[in-house]
Amino acid sequence: MNKQNIIQMVKKHHKIFNFLTNIYNCLSLKNRLNKKGVKVKIGVSKISGLKIVNRGKNNKIIINDFVRIKNTKIIIRGNNNTINISDFVVLYEGTFYMEDDNNEIFIGEHTSCLGKFEFATIEGTKILIGKNCLFSSLLHFRTGDSHSILNLDGERINPSQDIVIEDHVWVGTKVTCLKGVLVKKNSIVGATTTLCKIYDEENVAIGGVPGKIIKRGVNWDSKRI
């Protein structure tokens, strides 16, 4: 039976497969899923080593179908936060941090994070990752600075900002992504780059510290053609 046939069979008998996989995920000694103040909804997915730490209320974690998660932590300190993992996402060795209220992390279909990574949101901000993205290891994405920077009048001048990575973006190893970043679709982020602004062109390669566009008119494929 090929992959497509399996997918169709699962969709046809979704309730049964969802029930069985939820029993497996909940009984696995590697998982810590049941936490007061957070609603965890898991579809037909294989979860191994997912640990949830929740210090708030009305938080939601949604893991859809055909997701693979291995050795990942979710730490929430605040209320009304949401993590939404779409179908066919792969997450290995990750950590999700949420502090304060009304934050959101969304990861689109068929996106893979294949090594150690940290996604951190604070102060009601978002990290939005598109479809068909490929993320390497040792990544740090943060929507805020954690501490305040003040002008000489004592006014804070460093508000937190969303991070948006559009569809089909390849992010190399040891990339740091700071607040307020936008990367357009079909782009490549080179290893060790520091993303720190809006990159408003599609089909570009971005590299350097700070990151800048170093090549235009490119695309990428995960296959070695």
Report yes or no on 223 lying in a domain: no
Q: For the stretch 167-205, what's the b/e string if a residue is b when 16 or more beta carbons lie within 10 angstroms of its beta carbon?
A: bbbbbbbebbbbbbbbbbbbbbbbeebbbbeebeebbbb
Strand order in the sheet with 38-42: 38-42, 59-63, 82-85, 104-107, 126-129, 163-165, 182-183, 198-199
How would you classify the pairing of strands 204-207 and 212-216? antiparallel
Residues 113-167: pLDDT tens digits?
A: 999 999 999 999 999 999 999 999 999 999 999 899 999 999 999 999 999 999 9
Report yes or no on 41 lying in a domain: yes
Report yes or no on 225 lying in a domain: no
Report yes or no on 13 lying in a domain: yes
Report yes or no on 111 lying in a domain: yes
Instruction: Say whether 83 sits in a helix, a strand or coil.
Output: strand
The tokens 């990290």 sit on which residue? 127
Beta bridge partners of 84: 62, 106
Q: How far is Cα of residue 129 from the mean position of the Cα atoms in its chain?
A: 6
Report yes or no on 121 lying in a domain: yes
Phi and psi (nearest 5°) for 24?
-60, -45
- 34 pLDDT higher than 90: no
Which residue did the predictor score with more confidence, 143 or 13?
143
Report yes or no on 222 lying in a domain: no
Residues 186-207: pLDDT tens digits?
A: 999 999 999 999 999 999 999 9
pLDDT at 1: 63
- CATH assignment at residue 87: 2.160.10.10
| Whole-number Å distance between alpha carbons of 121 and 78 | 11
Report yes or no on 129 lying in a domain: yes
Mean pLDDT within 161-174: 98
DSSP characters for 139-155? EEEESS-SS--B-TTS-
State the total domains in the chain: 1
pLDDT at 24: 87
Angle formed at CA 63 by CA 119 and CA 101, multiple of 5 degrees:
50
CB 37 within 8 A of CB 56: yes
| Whole-number Å distance between alpha carbons of 81 and 190 | 31
pLDDT at 27: 85
Identify the domain containing residue 185 by its residue range. Answer: 3-147+154-216
